[in-house]
Structure 1
Amino acid sequence: MATPSSHTRPTGLAVWLVIAGVVGWFAAFSLTREKLERLADPTSSASCDFSVLVQCSANLDSWQGSVFGFSNPILGLTGWVAPIVVGMAILAGARFARWFWWCFWAGMGFAFGFVVWLITQSIFDLGTLCPWCMVTWAVTIPSFYAVTIHLLRSGLVPAPARIRRAAAGLMAWVPLMAILSYAVVVLVAQLELNALPNIFQTLFG
C-alpha cells in the first residue's frame, strides 16, 4: 500500500512535466520534419544547419541518429507524450500507484542515459552540436532529476526518513543541478571542439 506522502499532489512537478513534454515533443517533431525533408532531397541542407559545428544534418545522417533502426526523433515523438499526460493527470487530481511511478521513472532513466550517450557521441565522435538535440538535452536532464527526487521524497522508493527529508529539500535545487549539468556539457564541448567561439560567431556573426 502506498504511503500517505506518496499521495500528495506534486503540482510543481506536474507543471514542469507538461512544459518539458511540450518542448521536447516540439524538438522531436522539428527533427523528424528535417529528417523527412532530407529523405525527400538528400542534397538539401537542414534549416538548423548553421555551421560545420552547429548543425542537425550530421547527427540525423549518422548511425547514432538511427541507433534502433529508425530515426531517433521518433522516440521523442512518442516518448514525450508520457510526461505531458502524467503532468496533466496530476493537475486533474490523479494519483498513481507505486508501480506506475517506478515505470515512469524507468522511462525517464532510459531517456537520461540515452541523452548522455548522445551527448558524448555528438561531441567526441561527430564533432557537432545539433540545436534541436540540445533542446532535448536541456529538458531531459532536469526532468530526470525532478522525477528521481520526487520518488525519494514521497516514499515511493523505500528510504529512511532523513533521506526523504533531504530529497524534499533537494527539489528546490533541481534548476541549479540542471545548470551545473549544462555547464559540464559546455565545458567538455569547449575543450573538445572549441565550441563557444563558433557558437557566438553563429549567433552574432
Structure 2
Amino acid sequence: MSEQRTRPVVYAVWLIIAGVIGWFAAFQLTVEKFALLENPQEALACDVSPFIQCSKNLESWQGEVFGFPNPLIGLTGWMAPIVVGVALLAGARFARWFWAAFGAGIVFAIGFVCWLIGQSLYDLLVLCPWCMVTWAVTIPTFFATVLHVIRNGTLTRNEKAQQRAGALMVWVPLLTIVAYAVIILLAQLQGLDFLGEMAKLIF
C-alpha cells in the first residue's frame, strides 16, 4: 500500500505519542543523572528497591557507553519520531532515502535497547524504571516502522508485500505484548522479581 495513496494517520499519531513518552523518560533520567552528580550518596527518586532503581544504571559504564550519559541520546533521538509524526499528519510525503534513514535510526534504537536490556538483566542485575519506559515505547515503534517502510515501498516495490505489511499493522500490539512477556520472563528467570516489585508499586 503506497504512502502516496493513503496517509498513515495511526502510525503518525503513534510516533508522536511514543516520541513524547520516550523524550519525557529521557528527560527524567537526565534530571536524575544531575541529581546523582550533585549528591552521589543520596538515593534517587527512581530508586524503588534493590531490583528496581536508576542509580546503578546511571553510574555504570553502560550508562554512558558513548562517553556521555545515555539519556542525552534519548533527548535528541526522540525528537525525530515527533517531527516525522507531525509532518505526516500535516500531509508531508518523504522520499525513499528519508524513510530508509529513519528506519535505520529505529533499527539502531531497538538494537541499543536490546543490548541495554541484556546488560540490565545479566550484568547490572537491576531494572531502571525510566529505562523500561523507553523500552516500552521503542519496541512497538520498531515493529510499526519496519512494517511501514515495507508498505510504503521503501524496502520493496512488490505490491503484494506492501499490502501484507499494511495488513500486519494490526498485529503490532500483539507482537509488542509478546516482546514484553519475553523480557518479563527473562527477568524472572534471572532472579529479578519484576512482577512482585511491580505489584508492590501498584498496590
SS at match of 1:52: coil
Identity, % of aligned positions? 57
Match of 1:44 among 25, 35, 42: 42
2:67 counterpart residue number: 69
Contact 1:35 1:60 in 2 (8 A): yes
Counterpart mapping for 1:21-100 below 5 A: 21-100=19-98
* Matched-pair contact (CA < 8 Å) for 1:123–1:193: no
> Residues 112-131 of structure 1 correspond to what in structure 2 (within 5 A)?
112-131=110-129
Cα deviation code 1:65-114 (max 9, x no counterpart):
00000000000000000000000011111111111111100110100000
Q: Distance in 1 between matches of 2:153 and 2:202?
A: 48
Rounded Cα–Cα distance in structure 2 between residues aligned with 1:45 and 1:96: 46
Name the TM-score, length of structure 1 as normaliser: 0.94
**Who is 2:131 aligned against?**
133
Give 1:194 deviation, angstroms: 3.8
Q: For 1:144-166, what per-residue CA distance to the aligned partner results, in whole angstroms no more than 9, with x for missing partners?
A: 11011011112121253332222
Equivalent in the alignment of 1:188: 186
Counterparts of residues 164-175 of structure 1 (less than 5 Å): 164-175=162-173
The count of residues paired between Structure 1 and Structure 2 equals 202
* Separation of aligned partners in 1, 2:115 and 2:193: 19
| Matched letter for residue 97 of structure 1 | A
Structure 1 window deviating more from structure 2 (141-150 vs 154-163): it is 154-163
Question: 1:201 Cα shift?
Answer: 5.6
Q: State the match for 1:162 in structure 2.
A: 160
Question: Which one is further off, 26-35 or 7-16?
Answer: 7-16
> Which one of 5, 14, 29 corresponds to residue 2 of structure 2?
5
Q: What is the Cα-based RMSD across aligned positions, in Å?
A: 1.4
Partner of 1:105: 103
Does structure 1 conserve the Cα–Cα contact (< 8 Å) formed by 2:2 and 2:162? no
Q: Is contact 2:54-2:127 (8 Å) kept?
A: yes
Distance 1:204 1:76 in 2: 27
Q: Give the TM-score taking structure 2 as reference length.
A: 0.95
Match of 1:16 in 2: 14
Point out where structure 1 has 5 or more consecutive residues left out of the alignment. Answer: none
Q: Is contact 1:122-1:128 (8 Å) kept?
A: yes
Native 8 Å contact 2:126 2:192 kept in 1: no
Q: Is the 8 A contact 1:28 1:132 kept in 2?
A: yes
Structure 2 regions of 5+ residues with no counterpart?
A: none
Q: Distance in 2 between matches of 1:147 and 1:114?
A: 16
CA distance in structure 2 between the partners assigned to 1:83 and 1:192 by the alignment? 33
Matches of 2:198 and 2:138, distance apart in 1: 24
Equivalent AA in structure 1 for residue 185 of structure 2: L
Return the offset for 1:193: 2.0
* Alignment match, 2:151: 153
After superposing on structure 2, the runs of 4+ consecutive aligned residues of structure 1 that deviate more than 6 Å are none
**8 Å CA contact 2:125, 2:192 repeated in 1:** no
Deviation at 1:200, TM superposition (A): 4.2
The alignment partner of 1:6 has SS state of: coil
